[in-house]
Structure 1
Amino acid sequence: MTFSVDVPLLVDVVVRAASVLVAFLVLPLLVGQTEHKVMAHMQGRLGPMYAGGFHGWAQLVADGVKFAQKEDVIPAAADRAVFKLAPAVALVPYIVALAAIPLSPTLVAADLNAGLLFVLAASAVSVLGTLMGGWASGNKYALLGALRSAAQLLAYELPLVLAAASVALAAGTLSLTGIAASWHWWWLIWQAPAAVVFLVAGLAEVQRPPFDMPLADSELVMGPYTEYTGLRFALFLLAEYAGIVVLSALTAVLFLGGWRGPFAEYLGPVWMLLKTGVVAVVVIWVRVAWPRLREDQLQRLAWAVLVPVTLAQLAITAVLVV
Structure 2
Amino acid sequence: IPLTKIRLAGFGQFIADGIKMLTKEDIVPFSADKVVHFLAPLALAIPVWLTFAVIPFGRNMSAIDLDAGLLFFFALGAGSELAVFMAGWASRNKYALVGAMRGIAQMISYEIPLVLSTVAVVMIVGSLSLNDIVAAQSAYTFGFIPNWFVFTPWGLAAFLFFMIAACAETNRAPFDLPEAESEIIAGYLTEYSGFKYALFFLGEYLGLFAITGLAVTLFLGGWTAPLPFLNVIPSWLWFFLKFATLIALFIWVRATVPRLRMDQLMKLAWKFLVPLTLINLVVTAIWHFSNAWEFTGAIAARWLLCGAMIGAAYIALGRTLHTNAFPRRTYRYAD
TM-score range, shorter chain: 0.7 to 0.9
Partner of 1:116: 70
- 1:272 is the counterpart of 2:235: no
Partner of 1:188: 151
* TM-fit CA distance, 1:127: 3.0
* TM-fit CA distance, 1:104: 2.4
Whole-Å Cα distance in 1 between the matches of residues 75 and 20 of structure 2? Answer: 33
**Higher mean Cα deviation, 127-136 or 285-294?**
127-136
Aligned residues of 1:155 and 1:299 also touching (Cα < 8 A): yes
Decide which of 215, 227, 232 is 1:251's aligned counterpart: 215
* TM-fit CA distance, 1:130: 1.6
Whole-Å Cα distance in 2 between the matches of residues 295 and 319 of structure 1? Answer: 35
Partner of 1:319: 286
Decide which of 50, 57, 79 is 2:33's aligned counterpart: 79
Aligned residues: 271
Q: Percent identity?
A: 44
Q: CA offsets, 1:105-162, max 9 Å, x none?
A: 4110011111111112212212321221111000000000000011112210110000
For normalisation by structure 2, the TM-score amounts to 0.78
Write the mapping of 1:137-148 to structure 2, written as runs, cut at 5 A: 137-148=91-102
**Higher mean Cα deviation, 156-165 or 189-198?**
189-198
Whole-Å Cα distance in 2 between the matches of residues 265 and 177 of structure 1? Answer: 20
Partner of 2:265: 298
Instruction: Letter of the 1:282 partner, please give it.
Output: L
Instruction: Letter of the 2:48 partner, please give it.
Output: Y
Write the mapping of 1:35-46 to structure 2, written as runs, cut at 5 A: none
Aligned residues of 2:149 and 2:221 also touching (Cα < 8 A): no
- 1:173 is the counterpart of 2:139: no
For normalisation by structure 1, the TM-score amounts to 0.81
Partner of 1:284: 251
Write the mapping of 1:120-135 to structure 2, written as runs, cut at 5 A: 120-135=74-89
Aligned residues of 1:105 and 1:177 also touching (Cα < 8 A): no
Whole-Å Cα distance in 2 between the matches of residues 119 and 81 of structure 1? Answer: 27
Aligned residues of 1:248 and 1:277 also touching (Cα < 8 A): no
Whole-Å Cα distance in 2 between the matches of residues 211 and 53 of structure 1? Answer: 37
SS in 1 for 2:178: coil
Whole-Å Cα distance in 2 between the matches of residues 178 and 247 of structure 1? Answer: 18
* TM-fit CA distance, 1:265: 6.1
* TM-fit CA distance, 1:188: 2.1
Runs of 4+ in 1 over 4 A off after TM superposition: none
* TM-fit CA distance, 1:207: 0.7
Whole-Å Cα distance in 1 between the matches of residues 55 and 231 of structure 2? Answer: 17
* TM-fit CA distance, 1:266: 4.8
Aligned residues of 2:149 and 2:218 also touching (Cα < 8 A): no
SS in 2 for 1:99: helix
Unmatched tracts of structure 2, length 5 or more = 1-5, 138-146, 290-335
Write the mapping of 1:29-40 to structure 2, written as runs, cut at 5 A: none
SS in 2 for 1:214: helix
Instruction: Letter of the 2:39 partner, please give it.
Output: L
* TM-fit CA distance, 1:82: 0.3
